[in-house]
Amino acid sequence: MANADEIVDQIASFGLFADLATPQLERVAHTFEERWYSEGERILRQGISGSAFHIILEGEATVVIDGTERATLARGDFFGEVSILLGEPPVADVVAKRALRCLVLAGPQVQKFLVDHPPVMYRMLQAQARRLRIANRWRS
Amino acid sequence: MAELSDRPFPPGEYPVIVIGSGPGGLQVASRLRHDGIRHAVISADDAPGGMFRRWPFFQRLLSWTKPFAPVDRSDRAYERYDWNSLLGEEPASRTLMPDLMDGSSYFPSRPEMQRNIELFAERAALDVRYGCRWTATRLEETATGSRFVLDTTDGEYRAEVLIVAVGVAEPYRPATPGIELAAHYADTRPAESYADRRVFIIGKQNSGFELASGFLQWARRIIVSSPSPAKLSVNTHSLVGIRARYVQPFEDHVLGGGVTVLDAAIQSITQVEGGLEVRVRPTAGGEELVFEVDEAIAATGFVTPLGDLPDLGVATFGQARLPAQTPYWESASVPGIHFAGTISQGAGGLKKHGQPANSGAVHGARYNARVLVDHLAQTRFGVERERTPIAADDLVDTLVHELATAPALWHQRAYLTRIVSLDPAAGALDEGLAPLAAFIDGAADDGTGDAIALTIEADGTGAIYPVVYARRAGAISEHVIDQDLLLRYDTPAVRRQVGEVVRAFGVAAGKA
């Protein structure tokens, strides 16, 4: 259970929101919705459209592609943005490894949110660049 | 005092205990009786109705019932136009709302809604032990597992299965400094007592705008403020956001009429000479603003009155402290505790494209309650699922008819689904309604066999369209049916698209 004040305290330390002042963080806390997933529950479903952008507040999640575990995500990590940016269903399942508390923003709201918060967009771009660098290393 | 000893459901042991006598508790009780499951219903109230015995504050609902609709009231499809009647198992307890309305609005008044619920309890002959308040809960070990022990003002109740339908009605206030100087929405006075007053309303959801609407012809000054921008239901295309009924203060604001609608975080409320001082900081940046007002009202929502269930391990989330639930509305952390009525919104489902189900309202929760009870009947009480065979020649027509008319699918979009299994030996069988999340994740029907699941969905752009899910050899695929601007989904185009999905299973697609 968390109210907006507690959420502000939690997300203030997240890289994604590092450049936001408190009133803006409050707005984030009111714009995103909190959801709770139990262990083993699927959050993103490979091939099923209409999924949302998630930021982990507490707990761990596993990225599973065609039944194979590919990565583990934890507090402060986010997922679901790639399928929203590309307008395609997710290419992976994301499953709660243990009880998971997330902030959730519906797919159709993501573009407006990022355009309204350029510092968050820049931080997200940085995170994507890091992921791309890791992927490129794997290839070489 | 004869009637006191005649009160139903005395303390003792029951297979199922239902707590609550609002629409959720009564819908559950009606289905439990239909499915032949022994149970007790207890309620702290004196009479049926739940929150509708008191709210909405200005005494008219946000949920409509259309006395005149495109289909006859005796047709199941009429439920789509009647958001307020509970689902009767017999004709005498069905579609009660329209006959109780006085014709002045298609939103029933609060007393009309209360009467609708009372009449349902009468007609369905539902027993409730009123005036019995649940005070504490514990788990006790038994030979076969464990059961719940409920302390109540009438004594102890024991059951392995609890269904909690107590609404989301405990006033919530944020931790803002000075918030105790603001009245809560629940304590608002009659509108005329705000005549010529300066009123600061905290919260830009329906309750805040409901109050602002009621004060328009009374208050001298109205300020409505919260950190995030107001959403309007006509923009979100869902029940998320301010409903059209309450948009008037917003129009007053945008036309410069004097009402102020602000996106600002409330910093503090303090008592000053002649009233209250409210300090706010706009979320878009800029100087702190200071308002001197006569009244502040916290329209900051409600939390779920779960009593000591969180101490028992029931996980909750969000501002409303809803219990986290499985797709079948069971506590995600304490098995055996289930939820019905508006609390069932805690099982969020897929929320595809951000579109929520209508579980928070009667027209969604009433179907959840039926699916919950039938699921308990099958999984806990050995009641066989009714599986009506569908002749191969009728299959596509049956699926299309369901998509075009089924009220549960139209009200609970991308949330409840109708499953038809396609067993090579048994043929097509109607498996009934289930949560879509349960079907997709293999937790509904048998979970693996070939099957088709039907939904109505929306993507937030205003489009409302059917989706057919096919489970073949254990893998699920999603087939979106083309949108029809007039929402006609019994057309040859739909028949053709559904027929293609069916044919892929190698089943004869009938007259497609």
Q: If you search the block for the tokens 């009660």, which residue do you land on?
A: B96
Query: So what's the pLDDT on residue B5?
Result: 62
Distance in angstroms (rounded) separating the CA atoms of residues A19 and A41: 32
Query: So what's the pLDDT on residue B2?
Result: 44
Say whether pLDDT at A139 is over 80: no
Model confidence at B208, in pLDDT bands (50, 70, 90)?
A: very high
Fold of the domain built from segment(s) B179-300: FAD/NAD(P)-binding domain (3.50.50)
Model confidence at B191, in pLDDT bands (50, 70, 90)?
A: very high
For chain B, where do the domains classified as CATH 3.50.50.60 start and end? Answer: 8-169+304-380, 179-300
Pairing type for strands B146-152 and A100-105 reads unpaired
* Site from B263, B316, B319 to mutate, A interface, most A CB atoms within 10 angstroms: B319
Burial class (CB in 10 A: 0-12, 13-18, 19+), B154: middle
Q: Averaged over B396-421, what is the pLDDT?
A: 98
Nearest Cβ partner for B333 among A38, A51, A52: A38
Query: So what's the pLDDT on residue B511?
Result: 44
Model confidence at A140, in pLDDT bands (50, 70, 90)?
A: low
Query: So what's the pLDDT on residue A22?
Result: 87
Size of the A and B interface in Cβ pairs below 8 Å: 112
Instruction: Read off the pLDDT of residues B277-290 as tens digits, 9 standing for 90 and up.
Output: 999 999 888 899 99
Distance in angstroms (rounded) separating the CA atoms of residues B308 and B286: 43
pTM of the full structure: 0.94
Distance in angstroms (rounded) separating the CA atoms of residues A111 and A121: 10
Asked if B347 contacts B363 with a C-beta cutoff of 8 angstroms, the reply is no
Q: How far is A34 from chain B (nearest CA, A)?
A: 5
Instruction: Read off the pLDDT of residues A70-88 as tens digits, 9 standing for 90 and up.
Output: 999 999 999 999 999 999 9
The number of C-alpha atoms within 13 Å of B200 and in the hemisphere containing its C-beta is: 26
b/e code A104-137 from CB counts within 10 Å (16+ = b)? bbbbbbbeebbeebeebeebbeeeeeeeeeeeee
Mean per-residue pLDDT of chain B: 94
Q: Which phi and psi (to 5°) does residue B480 adopt? A: -85, 125
Higher pLDDT, B89 or A5: B89
* Site from A19, A36, A104 to mutate, B interface, most B CB atoms within 10 angstroms: A36
Q: Which phi and psi (to 5°) does residue B74 adopt? A: -80, -10
Query: So what's the pLDDT on residue B351?
Result: 96
Say whether pLDDT at B39 is over 60: yes
Q: Give the chain B residue whose CA is nearest to the CA of A33.
A: B318
Asked if B121 contacts B103 with a C-beta cutoff of 8 angstroms, the reply is no
As beta bridge partners, residue B37 has: none
* Site from A30, A34, A54, A111 to mutate, B interface, most B CB atoms within 10 angstroms: A30
Asked if B183 contacts B276 with a C-beta cutoff of 8 angstroms, the reply is no
Query: So what's the pLDDT on residue B497?
Result: 98
Sheet strand arrangement including A93-96: A42-44, A93-96, A61-65, A68-73
Please name the amino acid found at residue A43. Answer: I
Q: Which CATH superfamily is domain B8-169+304-380 in?
A: FAD/NAD(P)-binding domain (3.50.50.60)
Query: So what's the pLDDT on residue A1?
Result: 41
Query: So what's the pLDDT on residue B283?
Result: 86
The CB density around residue B386, as the number of other CB atoms within 10 Å, is: 11
Query: So what's the pLDDT on residue A2?
Result: 58
Asked if B16 contacts B163 with a C-beta cutoff of 8 angstroms, the reply is yes
Say whether pLDDT at B509 is over 80: no
Query: So what's the pLDDT on residue B508?
Result: 54
Tokens read off for A133: 């660098």
Instruction: Read off the pLDDT of residues A88-109 as tens digits, 9 standing for 90 and up.
Output: 999 999 999 999 999 999 999 9
Q: How far is B412 from chain A (nearest CA, A)?
A: 16
Query: So what's the pLDDT on residue B417?
Result: 98
CA dist A11 to A17, A78, B112, B367, Å? 7, 12, 45, 37
Which residues from chain B sit within 8 angstroms of residue A24, using beta carbons?
283, 285
Q: Averaged over B85-102, what is the pLDDT?
A: 98
Q: Give the chain A residue whose CA is nearest to the CA of B280.
A: A23
Which residues from chain B sit within 8 angstroms of residue A34, using beta carbons?
317-319
B228, A27: Cβ pair inside 8 Å?
A: yes
Q: Averaged over A125-138, what is the pLDDT?
A: 88
Query: So what's the pLDDT on residue B43?
Result: 98
- A58 in reach of chain B (CB within 8 A): no
Instruction: Read off the pLDDT of residues B302-329 as tens digits, 9 standing for 90 and up.
Output: 999 999 999 999 999 988 999 999 999 9
Spatial CA neighbour of B19 closest among B114, B145, B137? B137
Query: So what's the pLDDT on residue B55?
Result: 87
Distance in angstroms (rounded) separating the CA atoms of residues B238 and B359: 12
Distance in angstroms (rounded) separating the CA atoms of residues B8 and B314: 29
Say whether pLDDT at B445 is over 90: no
Q: Averaged over B465-493, what is the pLDDT?
A: 96
Which residues from chain B sit within 8 angstroms of residue A27, using beta carbons?
227-228, 263, 265, 283
Asked if A58 contacts A98 with a C-beta cutoff of 8 angstroms, the reply is no
Query: So what's the pLDDT on residue B232?
Result: 93
Nearest Cβ partner for A1 among B283, B317, B350: B317
Query: So what's the pLDDT on residue B510?
Result: 47
* Site from A11, A27, A94, A109 to mutate, B interface, most B CB atoms within 10 angstroms: A27
CA dist B486 to B177, B357, B479, B489, Å? 51, 21, 20, 9
Say whether pLDDT at B63 is over 70: yes
- A22 in reach of chain B (CB within 8 A): yes
Say whether pLDDT at B402 is over 70: yes
Nearest Cβ partner for A38 among B310, B332, B352: B332
Asked if A36 contacts B237 with a C-beta cutoff of 8 angstroms, the reply is no
Question: B473 by DSSP, 3-state: which?
Answer: coil
Say whether pLDDT at A138 is over 80: no
Which residues from chain A sit within 8 angstroms of residue B282, using beta carbons?
23
Contacts of residue B483, defined as CB under 8 A and 6 or more positions apart, other chains included, come to B463, B464, B465
B477 dihedral zone (left: phi>0; alpha: psi -120 to 50; beta): beta
Distance in angstroms (rounded) separating the CA atoms of residues A46 and A66: 8
Nearest Cβ partner for A30 among B227, B310, B333: B227
Query: So what's the pLDDT on residue A41?
Result: 92
Burial class (CB in 10 A: 0-12, 13-18, 19+), B268: middle
Instruction: Read off the pLDDT of residues A15-39 as tens digits, 9 standing for 90 and up.
Output: 999 999 888 898 898 889 999 999 9
Q: How far is B2 from chain A (nearest CA, A)?
A: 45
Say whether pLDDT at B385 is over 90: no
Q: How far is B354 from chain A (nearest CA, A)?
A: 4
Domains by residue range for chain A, with CATH: 4-139 (2.60.120.10)
- A115 in reach of chain B (CB within 8 A): no
